[in-house]
């Protein structure tokens, strides 16, 4: 028997109301980018501590960078693995291509969800670039460095992209994954996000606080744009699911394509 909530979610919506809601979805996505500033308060507080050279955070940054740098230099094999993970497997381009592939798959079946995924991934890159330029924090300067990276240091673009793209992929795919596969997907995403941060610090191209800032900003952005998408569903009379369990568009689990 189909659950009442799912039945309600599939009720046809009048086209004029749907068109109005579609326009409001675009407005909501723009508003979400503005609301992101509020959601990013923890990252802003972290930046204040960085600029104030707060001793505990400074010790964490300097101590971790120095320890991991010395450790990596002594193990060339581990260094090679870290480079492949950072520059190929978890590279921002790889992450964005995964999201782009999902967007293409969604265009005919759920174009609004595709718009949300594309907008979130694009905003992540633009915001990360903008914050880097505004903060202009220098990267670690370590003796005999094992890796180099261009540009400024805060936030870590790799960490922000990983947090954003992994969250997008999880929220989009949740409806079509069984409970066990969903748990495995969450585990893989967690390993990827944490692994990205570790590789960037171990390679000596970011401070720990850069990675923390990237994670906080990426999570805040996804939370803000997901709020906008859930608001669109509410405007159109659709069920608003629990995103962590059912994703943003639970209808993807059913056989019927999206209408409207």
Judge contact between 215 and 197, C-beta under 8 A: yes
The 3-class secondary structure across the chain, one letter per residue, is CCCHHHHHHCCCCCHHHHHHHHHHHHHHHHHHHHHHHHHCHHHHHHHHHHHCCCHHHHHHHHHHHHHHHHHHHCCHHHHHHHHHHHHHHCCHHHHHHHHHHHHHHHCCCCHHHHHHHHHHHHHHHHHHHHHHHHHCCCCCCCCCCCCCCCCCCCCCHHHHHHHHHHHHHHHHHHHHCCHHHHHHHHHHHHHHHHHHHHHHHHCCCCCHHHHHHHHHHHHHHHHHHHHHHHHHHHHCCCCCCCHHHHCCCHHHHCCCCCCC
Active site annotation includes 158 = yes
Catalytic residue among 58, 67, 69, 158: 158
Active site annotation includes 148 = no
**Which residues are tagged catalytic?**
158, 206
């Amino acid at each position: 028997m189909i659950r009442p909530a799912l039945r309600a979610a599939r009720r046809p919506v009048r086209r004029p109301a749907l068109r109005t809601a579609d326009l409001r979805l675009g407005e909501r996505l723009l508003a979400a980018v503005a609301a992101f500033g509020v959601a990013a308060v923890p990252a802003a507080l972290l930046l204040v501590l960085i600029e104030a050279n707060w001793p505990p955070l400074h010790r964490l940054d300097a101590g971790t960078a120095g320890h991991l740098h010395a450790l990596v230099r002594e193990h060339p094999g581990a260094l090679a693995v870290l480079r492949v993970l950072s520059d190929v497997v978890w590279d921002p381009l790889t992450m964005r291509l995964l999201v782009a592939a999902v967007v293409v798959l969604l265009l005919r079946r759920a174009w609004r969800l595709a718009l949300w995924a594309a907008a979130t991934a694009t905003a992540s890159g633009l915001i990360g670039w903008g914050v880097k330029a505004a903060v202009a924090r220098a990267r670690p300067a370590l003796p005999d460095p094992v890796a180099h990276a261009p540009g400024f240091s805060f936030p870590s673009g790799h960490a922000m992209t990983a947090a954003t793209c992994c969250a997008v992929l999880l929220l989009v795919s949740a409806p079509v994954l069984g409970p066990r596969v969903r748990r495995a997907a969450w585990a893989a995403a967690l390993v990827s996000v944490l692994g990205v941060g570790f590789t960037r610090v171990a390679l000596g191209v970011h401070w720990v606080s850069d990675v923390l800032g990237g994670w906080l900003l990426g999570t805040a952005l996804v939370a803000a744009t997901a709020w906008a998408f859930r608001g669109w569903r509410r405007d159109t009379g659709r069920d608003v699911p629990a995103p962590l369990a059912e994703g943003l568009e639970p209808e993807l689990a059913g056989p019927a394509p999206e209408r409207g």
